Structure formats: C-alpha cells, structure tokens
Amino acid sequence: MDRKFEWTKPIERIPGTYTVTVTETASGCTSSTSFVVNISTNLIASITGNLSICAGSNATLSGTGGTTYTWSDGFVGNPNIVSVAGTYTVSVSDGVLRIYEQC
C-alpha cells in the first residue's frame, strides 16, 4: 500500500502542536493525529557514583535529573553498574526533552 504523509510544519525542537495526516494513495482515505511538544528548561543531567573502577570490580553510576535514563553502553535504567573503564554518557528524559551528561 502506498501512503503519503503530510506534516502541518517541520518537526523541530520548538514548542507547539504538530499534526500529521496520512493519506492512502489508492483510496484517498485519510487519518490525522496531533501531538504537543513542550520544552522543559528544568532538566539538569548529572552522573554520580564511584567514578573509578579497579580491575575485577564494578562501579555504580547513577544518573540524576530526569525520569528515564539511557546509557551509552545500551543499558536503560538507573543505576548502571559497569565493570569496564571508559567514558559513559547518559541520556536523561522527562518525556519532553533529552539532554546529555558525560562521565
């Protein structure tokens, strides 16, 4: 099935209401949905915990500042227990805006 998607305006990180209309090319049937984008200015992400790892041990890294935490090693949740030294980044979200903090 061939479908056409039309947005009322380009999706950007700008607050507002965005609407997409999907049209099935063959039948001309359409369906629309809208969503609101809000920008939160109160998110401040940080990583706390033992930032050193000795050989054979683990470090517990905790993200703060949001409700959802996605780590650069693929782990989703909080805290993240790591056993390999390196640079870890956490994406912190409150469901509205994502920001990043590096360890």
- Condensed to tens digits (0 to 9), the pLDDT of residues 19-76 reads 888 888 888 888 988 887 776 666 778 898 888 888 889 999 999 888 889 999 999 9
Determine the pLDDT at residue 20.
87
Please indicate, yes or no, whether residues 15 and 60 belong to a single structural domain of this protein. no
As for how many domains the chain has, the answer is 2
Structural domain harbouring 87? 46-102
Burial class (CB in 10 A: 0-12, 13-18, 19+), 67: exposed
Determine the pLDDT at residue 100.
47
Reading the block at residue 98, the tokens are 């994502």
Please indicate, yes or no, whether residues 13 and 32 belong to a single structural domain of this protein. yes
Helix (H, G, I), strand (E, B) or coil at 58: coil
Determine the pLDDT at residue 2.
78
Please indicate, yes or no, whether residues 55 and 76 belong to a single structural domain of this protein. yes
Please indicate, yes or no, whether residues 15 and 50 belong to a single structural domain of this protein. no
Determine the pLDDT at residue 66.
84
Please indicate, yes or no, whether residues 52 and 97 belong to a single structural domain of this protein. yes
